[in-house]
Structure 1
Amino acid sequence: MLTIIWAGGQPGKISALRRMTQEEWDLLRRDLPTNVKTYIDCDEDTILIFHPNFSEKELMEIENFDDLKFSDGLIPVITKDEKGLVLMQAFSTLESLELSQKESMGIYFSRSRNRLWRKGDTSGHIQKLRRILAPKDGSFVVYEVKQEGAACHEGYYSCFFREQDRSGNKNLAPEIPFLGK
């Protein structure tokens, strides 16, 4: 499954988040306007689509997690920095959300390791949590963080450091700095 994030541009004017199969994405991407910018994350399982006509979804700061929609115990999390730049997408459980809120840190649930994951535990590139936001429908969460170092395990400030053209070629996005691992 892919996660598709629709945004009205950078800084992160989030419009929507959808999960879909590769086949669904392949069909959908043919119908995208020609002037969209498409970025793919380091794991190639999240796609960030920018278009100036995408409207910004209203996000509200949340204190509790009662109205969130978890699927199999998980909810997608979009992480953006204080300026609004989309840094990454991951998943959280109720436990990781509560710990993030309590510790004011970016804490997620690693599906591959099947355990909690504190951003920066091994790299030292931490995320100091400023706010937790969600749309009214509770379909995803946004962490607004102060990023210290690289958000991406490959050493880039954002996991969305490659732009993908219409033919599928991926090129480094010069606006995303490499900070080292």
Structure 2
Amino acid sequence: MIQLPKEKEITIISKPSFDSKEVSLKVVDSQFAQKFVDQFEFGKKQLFVDCDEDALLEIDPSLNSSNKLLLWESGSLKITEEEWISFQKTIPPLSPFLAQDISGKDLMLAWGKKESLLSAVESGLGTYYSRSRNGKWVKGEESGHLQNLSAIYVHSNPFFIQYITNQIGAACHTGYYSCFFRELGLNDSISFVYPNKVGV
């Protein structure tokens, strides 16, 4: 069975189908996440792991739709200026940012700050916070694999941002279209979701 990183927070993303835009998530410690994987009901649900093994994607058909707020779409805010100013005061110092493509496939889970979201609203590009670089990170600014956003949703309890994007090339640094390119299965099996890489 896959061994998740120890002493690291793991994000578990849950949704009713592979292409659903109805999604929820929780951030747990590595011990909880490892137990979650070890006890997973593979006959009833699907489980994918991301490239860094610090995010899991659970497909559970029994899940209900999530509550989310449409913040931004096609270049314009969908809330009033007053609501936007007020909302900015509620953004946590650091929170999960989930990118999905237009069809609902999950591309990557990264982290972002208030400045990341403000930049995304301004530019229309998938923007995050890089903890390794300690600064703003526009996905694809070096590789050309940009995320042209079509919508931004906000979830609460817990707070996280959901980008809906037209992904150019690979979302994953490994060259795969999505960071969730491995599916876990029974008897510790691992299968690859995408047969080919689309860029490096």
Q: TM-score, normalised by structure 1?
A: 0.89
Residue matched to 2:103:
83
Please tell me whether the aligned partners of residues 10 and 30 of structure 2 are also in contact (alpha carbons under 8 angstroms): yes
Query: Is 1:153 aligned to 2:162, yes or no?
Result: no
Quote how far apart the aligned CAs of 1:4 are: 0.5
Q: Secondary structure at the match of 1:14?
A: coil
Equivalent position to 1:46, from 55, 69, 77: 55
Residue matched to 2:132:
112
Residue matched to 1:6:
14
Percent identity at matched positions?
Answer: 32
Read off the aligned partner of 2:88 and give its amino acid letter: D
Quote how far apart the aligned CAs of 1:167 are: 4.1
Residue matched to 1:134:
154
Question: Which stretch shifts more, 163-172 or 14-23?
Answer: 163-172
Residue matched to 1:57:
66
CA RMSD of aligned residues (A): 1.9
Residue matched to 1:66:
88
Q: Secondary structure at the match of 1:117?
A: strand
Quote how far apart the aligned CAs of 1:82 are: 1.0
Read off the aligned partner of 2:37 and give its amino acid letter: R
In structure 2, the CA distance between the partners of 1:3 and 1:94, relative to structure 1 (3 Å rule), is same
Residue matched to 1:21:
29
Quote how far apart the aligned CAs of 1:123 are: 0.8
Please tell me whether the aligned partners of residues 106 and 178 of structure 2 are also in contact (alpha carbons under 8 angstroms): yes
Residue matched to 2:3:
none
How far apart, CA to CA, are the structure 1 residues paired with 2:65 and 2:105? 14
Unaligned runs of 5+ in 2: 1-8, 72-76, 78-83
Quote how far apart the aligned CAs of 1:30 are: 4.2
How far apart, CA to CA, are the structure 2 residues paired with 1:68 and 1:32? 34
| Structure with the largest fraction of helix | 2
Please tell me whether the aligned partners of residues 129 and 135 of structure 2 are also in contact (alpha carbons under 8 angstroms): yes
Residue matched to 1:178:
197
How many residues matched?
A: 178
How far apart, CA to CA, are the structure 1 residues paired with 2:57 and 2:101? 15
Unaligned runs of 5+ in 1: none
